[in-house]
Chains A and B, each alone.
Chain A
Amino acid sequence: MYEHDVLIIGAGLAGLRAAVESVRLGVDTAVLTKVHPVRSHSNAAQGGINAALTDRGDEWEGHAYDTIKGSDYLADQDSVEVMVREAGDTLIELEHMGVIFSRDEEGRLGTRAFGGQREARTFFVGAITGSAMLHVLHEQIMRNDVRIYEEWFVTSLIVEDGVCRGAVAMDMRTGEMETIRAKAVIMAAGGAGRVFEPSTNALICTGDGLALAWDAGASLMDMEMVQYHPTTLAGNGILLSEAARGEGAYLINADGDRFMENYAPEFMELASRDVVSRAEQIEINEGRGINGNVLLDLRHLGTKFIEEKLGYLQEVAVEFRGIDLGESPIEIRPGMHYIMGGIKTTIDGATVIPGLYAAGECANVSVHGANRLGANSLLDTIVFGKRSAIAAAEYVKTVGRNGSSDSQLESDKKRIQEILDRPQGIRWAAMRNELAESLTEGIGVFRDQASMEGADAKVDELRGKYPQVSVDNKGKVFNTDLIFALELDFMLDVAKSICQGALMRKESRGAHSRTDLPDRDDENWLKHTHVYKDPDGLGGVRTETSDVTITKWEPIERAY
């Protein structure tokens, strides 16, 4: 048994930022992660991080308004205010740690334009902003010798008397399982893109944190809000950053028209992501696409500019499609990218379970609402990663000794042994593919009652068959076969919460675009959806709604 004051699960930007803060506050801190920290999916954030810096004439109110409008008024406005007010300081902290942000002519931080915003307030490192930030935060982790449980996999949270007291986890390198006691747990385990196929997300984005917290009794809020990114590659779903359009790229259809003129005459290609993805889908559906895609055109920017400002995009285009972006346009289409929904938290990262905090993509502080603005996710991870660490540090002062029971460990061991002992049954990969395809079909860019019910029924059917999933690998050392089977269990839970959230919301708002209910309904649906797991132990879910917090910005019609 291991013991710590604070255990952070996940080592992406939210987890590492929380760890840096926790250590700074003198708290006994450990980070647990199923991949080495620098392999985390925060790497994939390309375009940048938003902040309204007052010393260059921008104002936080503008950033707040753009974010709230982008959210289609589903974001809680008090949460948004916290995020955008802290953005400047948080950005400077990162710069002081060593992030090599792009500069202007005077050597100060430079910006680029990003979607859904009236000011250029996105700070960036080429097209590797997430990676550049992640590596710098990892440098701080090395500097402070933070204890990392590297390549450990959490099988459950320990909840005793309604209070979170640690986790049970497997050291993947040895296959041994351990209880890790902690006075507070910060869940920062990222998104769940693999519930869909294709997705821009890494293969590790299996919603572990969402499912673990859900199982422990947390609310998953607004899970129907699934972001489809407008520029992804068909087939494997790899992302081409919004930075391309931020730097001036066009979207064109098969007729060569910049079709965004018809959907967002003012913002054009830089409208909010939900708006652009819908426009593309309509073009494709109405026969103005090419092979189920539209085109992203950077030719007028020139190869030199592209390679300097968008080098990673050029690398992806050349390596994965054999296309030089300076020479020819590239086929792209909307692809599942991000989940706005997540574990409901306060502005301090607290969940409804004492001792359990959450930050980053797995959390829902309600700053993105029904549609996240590009470059607000990095900001979310950094601001709320830090805030949750500060809150957890205060909380652990009020908690006495760690408990000592190993009963959770024993039951997890038994559950895993059952999977290992099972004779040849269903392959996890086959079930995962079936799940992901049905979610993509049912909870797509456009959806309706029938499509959502179809996905929900499929999730139930697969959940019923899950006890037949078996693995080939019966060994202990790095048994990734077993890990994938356990991840699939998490994915089924996350999928269920997505379908249930979607079925609850009887309107269209942001990313939740219902063809059978195409209008936003502020009268009845300025509300968050909440889904809880299995309140009566019968495998069902409990749902409820809560009001959106409106402070200064009254909902008005949303046009770009």
Chain B
Amino acid sequence: MLAKLRVGRFDPETSSPEPYFQEYELEVEDWFSVLDALIKIREEIDGTLSLRCACRASICGSCGMRVNGRAKLVCKTKLDSVWSPGETLTIEPMGNMPVITDLITDFTSFWDKVRQIDPYMQPTGPEPEAEYLASDESMVHLAGVMNCIMCGCCVSECTVLEVDENFIGPAALAKAYRFVADPRDGKAEERLKDLNEPTGIWDCTRCMQCVEVCPKDVDPMGRIMVMRDLAMEAGVKSTAGSRHTDSFVNSVKRSGRLNETRLTIESIGVMNIPGQLAMAPVGVKALLKGKLPPVRDHKIPSKKAVGEIVKKAEGKN
């Protein structure tokens, strides 16, 4: 059957380089992956089309691209799962990374961020002569993160990176979790302290994009959330995110509802005078317009039932 592909092109060697689309028509087989189609173009139709690919078997992480607007590993994306005869399939380079040429993106900042999290095991204490002892469950659990092939799909679709290029991002944070959760690593607390800083674990907006596009089920956002819990459990609480979480929980415990004014004040930090002053004009404006929520708690009638829920939730932990 005949397929039509609309492929993102970019030639940096022209006098005023601009990205554009080029359409290709080619015969495809029903077993084709999207990568098979692209390789066929490159080999038989147009050798100027540049892309990265190597293993063809979803283990090397070379071929992350946007397929109809979403990042995918194109080798493990069957053509017929994203395209039907008569349609045009759109392939573009991944997002949140500069394009070098055509479908090839620049991973420099991707790897800089991986470096930022001290990406190597740091045991403390004397090295044993034989292996470190560890449970099989802990290793199998880590294998879920080691499944990460650093393809960049999560980074491509991260909505925080879209607006803040300094965010460490889902791939590097998932990698950080791999060490934080490794029973052999001795630096979990230091790592959590570092990750607690701005651009770290609290900057994720929980949009789920990374979880959805990850071709290896690494669940970066889930790992980030676990690290938030671990940071708070370890007493690493000096962040707005951590204070926000505490304030939220305390408010619900006290009254069964959210006290938004206290949430704001406590998230900023009661003793954080510059922070409070910076927020003051917003508060004054809200007050003048009659929109400042009450500072005092208003208990809800069914507070007791909420208390039961809180108890159960905490019991679960």
User: Which A positions have Cβ atoms within 8 angstroms of B?
Assistant: 35-36, 38-41, 43-44, 55, 92, 95-98, 100-110, 125-126, 128, 131-132, 135-136, 139-140, 142-143, 173, 202-204, 235-236, 238-239, 308, 311-312, 315-316, 319-320, 427, 429, 471-473, 475-481
Contact = CB atoms under 8 A, between A and B. Distances in A.
Contacts of A104: 136
Given A92-B130, A475-B13, A102 B120 contact: no
Interface stretch (B50-58, B205-213, B264-272): B50-58
Nearest to B39: A203
Interface in B238-291: none
B182 interface: yes
A96 B59 CA distance: 24
16 contacts: A39-B55, A43-B60, A44-B60, A92-B129, A95-B131, A100-B143, A102-B136, A131-B146, A135-B150, A238-B56, A315-B58, A320-B57, A429-B43, A471-B47, A473-B47, A477-B101
B54 A476 contact: no
B44 A429 contact: yes
Mostly, the B contact residues are loop
A101 B115 CA distance: 23
Interface in B39-82: 42-44, 46-48, 50-62, 76, 78
A202 B59 CA distance: 10
Contacts of A142: 111, 114-115, 119-120
A316 B13 CA distance: 39
Contacts of A472: 46-48
B121 A98 contact: yes
Q: Which of A235, A236, A239 has the largest number of chain B CB atoms within 10 A? A: A236
A478 B100 contact: yes
Interface in B193-249: none
B58 A319 contact: yes
Contacts of B143: 100, 125-126, 128, 132, 311
Contacts of A481: 42, 47-48, 50
Nearest to A316: B57
Contact of B120 (A43, A98, A311, A316): A98
Contact of A101 (B44, B139, B150): B139
Nearest to A106: B133
A479 B49 CA distance: 9
Given A139-B121, A319-B78, A481-B50, 10 more contacts: A38-B149, A96-B132, A106-B133, A136-B121, A308-B140, A427-B43, A473-B47, A473-B50, A475-B48, A481-B47
B27 interface: no
Given A131-B149, A475-B48, A41 B54 contact: yes
Nearest to B14: A475
A475 B43 CA distance: 17
A124 to B, nearest CB: 10
Nearest to B62: A39
B135 interface: yes
B294 interface: no
Closest 8 CB pairs of A and B: A472-B47, A98-B121, A429-B43, A481-B47, A107-B133, A103-B136, A139-B120, A202-B54
A128 B147 contact: yes
A311 B133 CA distance: 24
Contacts of B107: 36
A327 B52 CA distance: 35
A221 B46 CA distance: 38
Contacts of B132: 95-96
B114 to A, nearest CB: 7
A235 B31 contact: yes
B18 interface: no
A473 B51 CA distance: 13
A472 B43 CA distance: 10
B187 interface: no
Given A92-B130, A427-B47, A481-B48, A100 B53 contact: no
Interface in B115-139: 115, 119-121, 123, 127, 129-136, 139
Contact of A135 (B52, B78, B135, B146): B146
